Chain A
Amino acid sequence: MAEVPAKLEKGGSWVTSRIDIGNDGITLKDPWNTSVSYRSIVDYQKRGQMVTMIVTMPDKTERTYKIASVDKVLTILTRKIIMACNAYRIMAHFMSPAIRGGVLVTDAKWEKGAIAVLKTGIWFVSQEKQISVPLKEVASLELTKRELQKKKLDVIKIDHLEGGEVVTSFILCPLSTLQVLYNFLRDATKDMDMKGSELDQLDAQTAQVAMLIYSGMDTKSIENMLNLPPEELNAVYETLLKLKLVDVVMVRKEVQLTPKGVRYITDALKPPS
């Protein structure tokens, strides 16, 4: 590919520049004026029209490069990097998204492509799709079976968060590879595992509250559905917070009128004289 326009970040400033996407690496023009081999890239993230590459330098230190460009350029760059960067990578079939927010995606289909596990994310790259799942957004992993052409085949099921929605994706490849990939992903996301002592704190009521939060119910609806007084629900929330299963998004206040407030309301309700 010839040189293409791009913006490059250095020291917090963006410079209008050019990049050259080659077969083995990328050349970054001003202000970097350097070449980066794809093999030295250990992490890669894409947010909108900007990508971030983490590169291991010859002295083993890491350097971060940020590039902004048009979709067409970033699509080509992403494909080159994911296929050649320093990552655990396999060729497999994937289906993403297969389920979104609990609703089956009816036109979901298996795609053949590469799956790469980098430092902070999993990438699925096929001819048609480029999907990244940040490891910190992976909610659960499971080795399960899925029917394909009337055969029940082993797959990895990944539940992950995408813009607040829970999305389910599947990976399909030969069982031996699948097991290695599963173990690799389990290891990369082991911080999410619940310990036995943590599970002991989750009684049936706490689990029901968690399920209702998952479904999008607000505090008032949960109180009504489970017939829980606010104090009890607060105690359940405290358990969930302690276990880092939820975050506080809003603190709602309960108030009562002061004498001044009572006077205001009384006056407001008087008929006009």
Chain B
Amino acid sequence: MGRILIVDDTLFMRTLLKNILSSGGHEIVGEAEDGDIGVNKYRELKPDLVTMDVVMPKMNGIEALKAIKSLDANAKVIMCTAVGQEQMVKLAIKSGARGYIVKPFQAPKVLEEIGNVLGA
């Protein structure tokens, strides 16, 4: 089980992820509604894993991912985006993302992916 930081600009998605991850026994150590806040919270909380939305208003998920990786090269970040933005996958993977979740998602597969990344 891991300590997880959720970064997503919509309250609905943060709440949904929080519910799914908590049901899988993970601890949600923090939430952030934008990339820059997510980077600061990563520095402060040192979570085991971050779920990172790609499209956010101030700092997008790819920039936030790069910033987190520059703070901690071993950071485990799973990107989370809407259908139709799959072209961001390569960029995210190249930037160090460990996995990619496409919205809408199903709880068991999300928990499986999180488990795989945490166990890696």
Cα–Cα, bound, A103→B81 (Å): 10
- B42 close to chain A: CB less than 8 A: no
B108 contacts which of A99, A101, A147, A211 (Cβ < 8 Å)? A101
**Closest B residue, CB atoms, query A170:** B86
B109 to chain A, nearest CB (A): 3
Across-interface contacts of A106 in B (CB, < 8 A): 99-100
B87 contacts which of A147, A208, A225 (Cβ < 8 Å)? A147
Given contacts A208-B12, A215-B104, A225-B19, contact A100 B87 (CB under 8 A): no
Task: Say yes or no: B16 contacts A147, CB within 8 Å.
Answer: no
B112 to chain A, nearest CB (A): 7
- B103 close to chain A: CB less than 8 A: yes
**Closest A residue, CB atoms, query B15:** A225
- A212 close to chain B: CB less than 8 A: yes
Given contacts A103-B99, A104-B101, A225-B15, contact A165 B89 (CB under 8 A): no
A150 to chain B, nearest CB (A): 10
Task: Say yes or no: A215 contacts B106, CB within 8 Å.
Answer: yes
Q: Number of A residues contacting the other chain (C-beta, 8 Å)?
A: 23
**Closest A residue, CB atoms, query B93:** A106
Number of cross-chain contacts by CB at 8 Å = 71
Cα–Cα, bound, A67→B26 (Å): 47
B104 contacts which of A100, A104, A152, A214 (Cβ < 8 Å)? A214
Given contacts A146-B86, A147-B87, contact A102 B104 (CB under 8 A): yes
Cα–Cα, bound, A112→B12 (Å): 40
How many of chain B's residues touch chain A, expressed as a range? 20 to 34
Task: Say yes or no: B100 contacts A165, CB within 8 Å.
Answer: no
A139 to chain B, nearest CB (A): 11
B interface: dominant SS: helix
**Closest B residue, CB atoms, query A214:** B104
A71 to chain B, nearest CB (A): 26
**Closest A residue, CB atoms, query B90:** A147
**Closest A residue, CB atoms, query B23:** A221
Across-interface contacts of B100 in A (CB, < 8 A): 103-104, 106
Cα–Cα, bound, A225→B16 (Å): 8
Cα–Cα, bound, A208→B104 (Å): 11
B51 to chain A, nearest CB (A): 12
Across-interface contacts of A101 in B (CB, < 8 A): 105-106, 108-110, 112
Across-interface contacts of A168 in B (CB, < 8 A): 102
Task: Say yes or no: B107 contacts A217, CB within 8 Å.
Answer: yes
**Closest B residue, CB atoms, query A166:** B106
Can you offer 18 A-B residue contacts whose CB atoms are under 8 A? A100-B109, A102-B103, A102-B109, A103-B100, A103-B102, A103-B112, A104-B86, A104-B100, A146-B86, A165-B108, A166-B104, A166-B106, A215-B105, A216-B108, A217-B19, A221-B19, A225-B16, A225-B19
* Residues of A that sit less than 8 Å from B by CB: 99-104, 106, 144, 146-147, 152, 165-166, 168, 208, 211-212, 214-217, 221, 225
